[in-house]
């Protein structure tokens, strides 16, 4: 009953904004803007929970790593839709793609990973996971994040942290090819890297995740419902982008806040799924969700953002500021150290969370 009510609320909002959205969004009163933002944010976030719910329904039927992969790809589709809506709006923000990708990396690799390791350490003291899978994710995250967010600051073809047309085209091709190879290995030859440690011969003792699959319905119907929850988010993303622009201008908020809002929308449901997995002492699944989200963001969002820039001839700034480059470097080193052994403790979690709080402070006080 609740999933149907959620769908009705999402599609009802879509109808309202398609019919009267232009009139509602034409005002600039702070109260009206705030109400519309809360409304749209609530509906989109609720629909995002629906995406996660249906993706987990499919995941239960397909098993790992396909289940986690479907979930992360669904979230990336939402992320690309929201970024595209803002980039194609009247007040295009050249740094939005960069800000969103960096926010996802900081939220995932520091915020959610830190919270997972801290809560898991409090409950189980130490938790085990599949080291090979975490290492495979990091082997992709490190070069892709540096190429996308650091290298543009040091190229000489263009200035201001941007890439030239040829650089953007070739980097996108390389990124998609590398990510495609990773998916092939993840779902084929090296599938065992991404399953719980207990399935590869080690011990990962824990209670199963709460069973949530409904008795009726086929996998095909679950997939259809998955897309039925994704579509309202994509359609409403343009209206949310307009309100974000108005709100940032009205309240004098930092421009990077738009990227953080998008990152929070797309990853909050997935982050909750990761915390549920940790509570059940299934750290491998939580790592697949967190590191998989960062990998998918870099592997798919970067090419999408660059492609939009090439097709629309709009500037796309990818290079981070000096302070954020330092924060990214420390984050990558810390994750490499955290996932260099087979067990994690509270200490790693507390360290990751401290870096996340540093990121938040730098947003409002650069």
Residue 261: C-alpha distances to residues 148, 189, 226, 245, 255 (Å): 21, 37, 23, 12, 11
> Using an 8 Å Cβ cutoff, are 74 and 227 in contact?
no
Angle at 287 between CA 335 and CA 285, to 5 degrees: 165
Q: Write down the mean pLDDT value for the chain.
A: 81
Of the candidates 88, 140, 86, 85, the one whose C-alpha atom is nearest the C-alpha of residue 109 is 140
Burial grade of 1 (CB within 10 A; 0-12, 13-18, 19 or more): exposed
Classify 127 as helix, strand or coil. Answer: strand
Query: Could you give the CA distance from residue 26 to residue 109 in angstroms, rounded to a whole number?
Result: 38
Where residue 202 falls among pLDDT bands split at 50, 70, 90? very low
Q: Which tokens hold the place of 161?
A: 């942290």
The predicted pLDDT at position 331 comes to: 96
pLDDT (average), residues 11-27: 80
pLDDT at 125 over 80: yes
The predicted pLDDT at position 89 comes to: 64
Of residues 282 and 56, which shows the higher confidence score? 282
The 10 Å CB-count burial string (b at 16+, else e) for 292-328 is: bbbbbbbbbbbbbbbebbeeeeeebbbbbbeebbebb
pLDDT (average), residues 319-332: 94
* pLDDT tens profile 128-161: 888 888 899 999 999 999 999 999 999 888 888 8
For 28, the domain range is 2-364
Query: Could you give the CA distance from residue 245 to residue 255 in angstroms, rounded to a whole number?
Result: 9
DSSP assignment, residue 93? Answer: -
Say how many CA atoms lie within 13 Å of 114 toward its Cβ.
17
Long-range contacts of 96-99 (CB under 8 A, 24+ apart): 96/258, 96/259, 96/262, 97/259, 97/301, 97/302, 97/305, 97/316, 97/318, 98/149, 98/161, 98/259, 98/316, 98/317, 98/318, 98/319, 98/320, 99/255, 99/256, 99/258, 99/259, 99/260
**CATH number for the domain that contains residue 190:** 1.20.1420.30
pLDDT at 214 over 60: no
Residue 112: C-alpha distances to residues 106, 214, 263 (Å): 9, 28, 12
DSSP assignment, residue 128? Answer: E
* pLDDT tens profile 68-123: 677 777 777 777 777 777 777 666 678 878 888 899 899 999 999 999 999 988 88
Query: Sign of the CA dihedral 98, 102, 105, 108?
Result: negative
The predicted pLDDT at position 232 comes to: 85
* pLDDT tens profile 255-270: 778 778 888 877 777 7
Q: What is the pTM of this model?
A: 0.81
Query: Could you give the CA distance from residue 146 to residue 315 in angstroms, rounded to a whole number?
Result: 20
**Number of structural domains found in the chain:** 1
């Amino acid at each position: 009953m609740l999933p149907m009510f959620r769908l009705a609320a999402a599609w009802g909002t879509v109808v309202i904004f398609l019919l009267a959205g232009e009139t509602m969004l034409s005002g600039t009163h702070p109260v009206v803007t705030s109400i519309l933002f809360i409304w749209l944010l609530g509906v989109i976030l609720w629909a995002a929970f629906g995406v996660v719910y249906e993706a987990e329904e499919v995941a239960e039927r397909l098993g790992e790593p396909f289940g986690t992969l479907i979930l992360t790809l669904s979230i990336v589709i939402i992320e690309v839709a929201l970024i595209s809506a803002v980039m194609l709006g009247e007040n295009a923000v050249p740094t939005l793609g960069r800000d969103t990708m960096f926010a996802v990396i900081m939220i995932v690799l520091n915020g959610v990973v830190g919270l997972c390791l801290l809560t898991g350490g409090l409950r189980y003291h130490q938790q085990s996971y599949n080291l090979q899978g975490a290492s495979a994710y990091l082997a992709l995250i490190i070069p892709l994040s540096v190429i996308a967010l650091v290298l543009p600051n040091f190229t000489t073809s263009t200035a201001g942290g941007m890439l030239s047309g040829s650089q953007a085209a070739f980097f996108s091709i390389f990124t998609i090819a590398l990510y495609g190879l990773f998916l092939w290995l993840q779902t084929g030859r090296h599938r065992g890297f991404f399953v719980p440690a207990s399935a590869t011969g080690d011990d990962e003792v824990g209670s199963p995740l709460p069973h949530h699959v409904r008795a009726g319905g086929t996998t095909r119907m679950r997939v259809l419902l998955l897309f039925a929850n994704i579509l309202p988010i994509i359609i409403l993303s343009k209206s949310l982008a307009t309100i974000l622009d108005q709100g940032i201008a009205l309240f004098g908020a930092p421009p990077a806040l738009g990227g953080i809002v998008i990152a929070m929308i797309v990853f909050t449901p997935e982050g909750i799924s990761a915390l549920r997995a940790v509570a059940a002492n299934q750290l491998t699944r939580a790592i697949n969700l967190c590191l998989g989200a960062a990998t998918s963001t870099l592997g798919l969002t970067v090419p999408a953002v660059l492609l939009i820039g090439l097709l629309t001839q709009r500037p796309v700034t990818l290079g981070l500021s000096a302070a954020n480059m330092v924060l990214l470097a420390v984050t990558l080193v810390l994750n490499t150290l955290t996932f260099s052994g087979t067990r994690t403790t509270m200490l790693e979690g507390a360290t990751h969370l401290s870096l996340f709080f540093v990121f938040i402070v730098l947003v409002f006080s650069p």
